[in-house]
Amino acid sequence: MAFEPLPRVKESFRRITRQLEPPPRWLFGAGPSNVSPRVLQAMSTPTVGPLDPAFLPLVRETQDLLRYLFQTSNRFTLPISGTGSAAMEAAIANLVEPGDVVLVLVNGYFGERLCEVLRRYGADVRRLERPWGQVFSLQEIQAGLVDHRPAILALVHAETSTGAEQPLAEIGPLCRRYDALLVVDAVSSLGGVPLFTDEWAIDVVYGASQHCLSCPPGIAPLTMNERALDKVRRRQVPLSTWYFDTALLAQYWDPEIQSYHHTIPVNLLYALREALRMVAEEGLVERWQRHRTNAELLWLGLEDMRLECHVASPHRLATLTAVRVPEVVNGPAVVRFLLEHYNIEIADGLGTLKGRVWRMGLMGYNSRASNVMLLLKTLEDALRQARA
């Protein structure tokens, strides 16, 4: 019997086989950010096998660069093959056993998401809550640790839905006092604002490639210290994940073992390595200061336009600013206008802030004074059109 392929639908086939030409967007939203030309060039170099002798040194170099980024000496420091959400799930899948009490600080959309993922892995989720855009005091966190005695405290360092930055420096030592592991979501802060994994006694941190590192999405930094790995080793319930099993991942990323686990996205690792090289060339302190300086320039411009930031200045995130939409303005219409007329992407609010704020990101490669001026000028035009 002869088999024939399905017939092509002429119009739709012509449409889907046209040359790929995405519009030249300025990505000033909540992520991704524009990718550096150096990173794009690195990503386009020839693919090799994941166990190729020429590739393995790049693996080790990437790990060393990630340790610098995280400010850690953790042996288990590697990129997860997946987005920041994959790194989050890898951490939770390994650490959490059914019935573990996990206390989550919830002050935005991504704190809520942590709760949801934890519930799916059987955690007994307890919540401390603050209004979206506010942060938690050390006293509130200590009271939560006393009341709930959690095995894990989980929080979002940079709440991308609100533009709030949770102070971290004293939380890790507090968790040690109450025998809790500290897990930190640094997706929108890693590489853009100060983060000292070891000095601040953070047990687990995960991030993403597409925010402050200005690398394509799909490969996500994760670091876990020995306290965290010891909890994984002492599990009573077997892991329900194979892909994210830290023991298997460690064997692949360990230069002395290099046991095949999965085919990592080779060209994305090239991209990540180049992005991390750019971090090291600039220096973390200088990079953090650049993000802060350009954020403050944005805040001054917004103030001159009589626009109000959603988060009070002491806890305002330097990599992403949430701006309150004036009552007389249609927020989503301004987002559409910037995209259609200027190829500029800013983000609408999420969850309870949908339609109430604009989220403006200045991350990594995009954090430049010229971009701040461009964003302010075009936003002024969009507002003028919205009020006309």
Architecture, CATH, for domain 38-281:
3-Layer(aba) Sandwich (3.40)
Whose tokens are 């989720």? That residue is 125
- Report pLDDT digits (tens) over 117-160: 999 999 999 999 999 999 999 999 999 999 999 999 999 999 99
What is the predicted pLDDT for the residue at 12? 66
* Residue (of 67, 75, 124) closest to 97 by Cα position: 124
The identity of residue 6, as a single letter, is L
Phi then psi for residue 103, to 5 deg, are: -95, 125
Instruction: Please report, for the chain, the start and end positions of each structural domain, with discontinuous segments joined by +.
Output: 26-33+283-387, 38-281
- The answer to whether the CB of 329 falls within 8 A of the CB of 13 is no
Q: Using the structure block, give the residue that is written with the tokens 């005091």.
A: 137
* Residue 333 CB neighbour total at 10 angstroms: 13
Sheet holding 357-361, edge to edge: 320-324, 357-361, 347-348
CA trace torsion 275, 276, 278, 284 (10° rounding)? 130
Query: Is the four-CA dihedral 161, 299, 378, 310 of positive or negative sign?
Result: positive
| Amino acid (1-letter code) at residue 211 | H
Give the separation between CA 316 and CA 320, rounded to whole angstroms.
8
Q: 244, 232 in Cβ contact below 8 A? A: no
How high is the pLDDT of residue 7? 66
Query: pLDDT for 281-291, tens place per residue?
Result: 999 999 999 99
| pLDDT for 10 | 62
Cβ burial, residue 272 (10 Å; 0-12/13-18/19+): buried
CB-CB neighbours of 69 under 10 Å: 26
d(CA 118, CA 88): 10
In which element (H, E) is residue 271 found?
helix 266-282
Omega into 32 within 30° of 0, i.e. cis? Answer: yes
Cα-to-chain-centroid distance, residue 199? 21
Q: Check residue 388 and give its pLDDT.
A: 63
Question: What is the DSSP secondary-structure string of 212-249?
Answer: TT---SSEEEEEE-HHHHHHHHT-SSPPS-STT-HHHH
Q: Which helix (H) or strand (E) holds 124?
A: strand 124-129
| Confidence (pLDDT) at 256 | 74
Q: Are strands 181-185 and 204-206 parallel, antiparallel or unpaired?
A: parallel
pLDDT of residue 35: 97
pLDDT by residue for the chain (388 residues), tens digit each?
Answer: 676 766 666 666 667 777 888 889 999 999 999 999 999 999 999 999 888 888 888 999 999 999 999 999 999 999 999 999 999 999 999 999 999 999 999 999 999 999 999 999 999 999 999 999 999 999 999 999 999 999 999 999 999 999 999 999 999 999 999 999 999 999 999 999 999 999 999 999 999 999 999 999 999 999 999 999 999 999 999 999 999 999 999 988 876 777 788 888 999 999 999 999 999 999 999 999 999 999 999 999 999 999 999 999 999 999 999 999 999 899 999 999 999 999 999 999 999 999 999 999 999 999 999 999 999 999 999 999 887 6
Look at residue 46 in the predicted model and tell me its pLDDT. 95
pLDDT the model gives residue 51? 84
DSSP type of residue 316: B
CATH number of 26-33+283-387: 3.90.1150.10
The rounded radius of gyration (Å) of the Cα atoms in the chain is 22
C-alpha–C-alpha distance, residues 137 and 140, integer Å: 5
Q: What is the pLDDT of residue 253?
A: 81
